[in-house]
């Protein structure tokens, strides 16, 4: 009798305990409903799309006065040596610019070599033979000619005690004229594509450098020199000189005003230049020289 009573009592406790546990589980499920878990902080940081940063080119911070300063012949340096250094540098830069659009300049898109002042140029080789080439063929002939002559000891001597030939400057005149034609073709036929590639400031800088060297040594004909100058004015931003503080009357200056500096003004709203780095940006971010 006592055994049956204990058995029934234990069954009753087991049933009561089971009922309490089920009620607790139901209560917990109601109080903590299942919600959709959000992404973790690390996952969100990895998948967050960061807008591309505007790249500022160092070429835009170089004004005409600086170009004149590094183009002038320093004292004690041979004139031909200085001309050879700048001519080879211009060839390297123009070669790099033309190579950047080599896949876009094709016989279909550019059946003739054109640049400011000329709609169809004719290439004259070293023998004096005239060739009507497409633009890519013309540029390839120019680069091959410049590459071969840059390694020629008769034109660009590198050995100690060697001297420049008598017609060295005449040779440089032809090289600069051909390089100008290649840069002019980039401006007339591929300027939009140069803008997409963010290479307009570099091309404008090379043309400004070429124009200054040509002025110093008289490398281009007056007609070609004027075309180069006009092109540089179109694609290079203008610098507006601000009157120094000492030359202004006190009545025209606000109280506590600081001496103003030169400011860069874009030539057009379309952004034919890549912007200019401010003083804060230049002090906070390193820049690599591109030209």
Position 189 scores a pLDDT of: 94
- Give the DSSP H or E segment for 19: helix 2-31
Residue 185 is assigned to a ligand binding site: yes
- Per the DSSP assignment, residues forming a β-bridge with 264 are 239
Intervals of the chain under pLDDT 70: 1-57, 60-61, 238-291
Position 26 scores a pLDDT of: 52
Decide if 188 contacts 231 (C-beta within 8 A). Answer: no
Residue 141 is assigned to a ligand binding site: no
User: Length of the chain in residues, anyone?
Assistant: 291
Which listed CATH number (1.20.140.30, 1.10.1660.10, 3.40.50.700, 3.40.605.10) goes with 80-229?
Answer: 1.20.140.30
The answer, as to whether pTM is greater than 0.75, is no
- Cα–Cα distance measured from residue 236 to residue 243, given in angstroms and rounded to the nearest whole number: 22
Decide if 276 contacts 239 (C-beta within 8 A). Answer: no
230 contacts: CB under 8 Å, gap ≥ 6: 116
Residue 21 is assigned to a ligand binding site: no
Position 173 scores a pLDDT of: 95
Q: Where are the beta strands (DSSP E) in the chain?
A: 123-124, 130-131, 238-240, 263-265
Position 289 scores a pLDDT of: 36
Alpha helices in 32-111 (DSSP H): 41-47, 64-71, 79-100
Residue 43 is assigned to a ligand binding site: no
Position 188 scores a pLDDT of: 95
């Amino acid at each position: 009798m006592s055994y049956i009573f204990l058995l029934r009592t234990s069954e009753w406790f087991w049933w009561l305990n089971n009922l309490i546990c089920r009620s607790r589980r139901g209560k917990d499920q109601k109080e903590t409903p299942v919600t959709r878990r959000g992404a973790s902080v690390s996952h969100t940081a990895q998948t967050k799309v960061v807008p591309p940063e505007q790249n500022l080119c160092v070429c835009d911070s170089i004004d005409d006065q600086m170009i004149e300063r590094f183009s002038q012949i320093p004292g004690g340096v041979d004139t031909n040596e200085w001309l050879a250094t700048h001519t080879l540098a211009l060839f390297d830069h123009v070669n790099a610019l033309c190579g950047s659009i080599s896949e876009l300049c094709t016989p279909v898109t550019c059946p003739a070599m054109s640049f400011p002042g000329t709609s169809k140029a004719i290439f004259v080789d070293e023998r004096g033979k005239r060739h009507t080439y497409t633009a890519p063929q013309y540029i390839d002939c120019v680069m091959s000619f410049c590459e071969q002559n840059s390694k020629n000891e008769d034109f660009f001597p590198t050995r100690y005690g060697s001297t420049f030939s008598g017609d060295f400057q005449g040779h440089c005149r032809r090289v600069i004229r051909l390089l100008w034609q290649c840069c002019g073709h980039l401006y007339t036929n591929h300027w939009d594509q140069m803008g997409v590639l963010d290479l307009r400031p570099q091309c404008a800088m090379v043309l400004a450098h070429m124009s200054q060297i040509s002025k110093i040594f008289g490398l281009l004909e007056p007609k070609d020199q004027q075309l180069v100058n006009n092109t540089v004015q179109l694609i290079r931003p203008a610098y507006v000189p601000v009157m120094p503080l000492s030359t202004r009357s006190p009545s025209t200056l606000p109280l506590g005003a600081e001496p103003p500096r030169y400011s860069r003004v874009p030539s057009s709203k379309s952004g034919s230049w890549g912007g200019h780095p401010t003083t804060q940006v230049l002090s906070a971010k390193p820049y690599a020289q591109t030209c």
